[in-house]
Amino acid sequence: MTEQASRITATCGTCAAECDGWLVQLIRDRRLHWERESSCASCGTTVCDGDRGAAPADVRAALLADHGEYRLTAEGTGPRSGAVPKAFRDAFEVSLAEAGSAANAARGAGWCGTRVEVVLVQRLLDGAGVAASVIEVREPQRRTR
Ligand SMILES: [Zn+2]
């Protein structure tokens, strides 16, 4: 299973103490999933949230900062080119328009995302017979908070 996680500091919704948490993005059954969880050491409250599809902006930003950014470039032409927007739509559960613009980026200068995201899209494209390459475009940054 491909997975990335970032440690965060959250505020407990029950007692307002500071608690440790995790933001996670993973691939399960060829679909993207994200999770946000925290557990409070003071009162024991555990919060777990998550869904399928594209991760919320804060989850994505933390993963990009902690693990770096990757760029996927897909083979642009030929009879299988329709597989490119389909891969983005399947991976992220986004609209046709959003999948189309991501596919255009992937067939042009490249589409950037977290490693989990590009690995999933590459895997879906591979399954559809479309060649795609992935490179690291930004090293992980040490976050300041
Ligand atoms: Zn608490």
Convert the pLDDT of each residue in 110-135 to its tens digit: 999 999 999 999 999 999 999 999 99
Q: Is the separation of the CB atoms in 74 and 31 below 8 Å?
A: no
Q: What pLDDT is recorded for position 80? A: 77
Rounded to an integer, what distance in angstroms lies between the CA atom of residue 134 and that of residue 121?
Answer: 10
Q: What pLDDT is recorded for position 78? A: 73
pLDDT band, very low/low/confident/very high, at 1 (cuts 50, 70, 90): low
Q: What pLDDT is recorded for position 79? A: 72
CA–centroid distance, 5 to ligand 1, in Å, is: 22
Rounded to an integer, what distance in angstroms lies between the CA atom of residue 88 and that of residue 109?
Answer: 16
CA–centroid distance, 18 to ligand 1, in Å, is: 8
CA–centroid distance, 20 to ligand 1, in Å, is: 11
75 has pLDDT over 90? no
Q: Where does 1-145 have alpha helices with state H?
A: 57-67, 83-92, 96-107, 115-127
Rounded to an integer, what distance in angstroms lies between the CA atom of residue 18 and that of residue 22?
Answer: 13
Domains and CATH numbers, the chain: 3-66 (2.20.25.420), 68-138 (3.30.1390.10)
**Token digits for 120?**
């999933």
Strand order across the beta sheet in which 132-138 lies: 111-113, 69-74, 132-138
Q: What pLDDT is recorded for position 142? A: 65
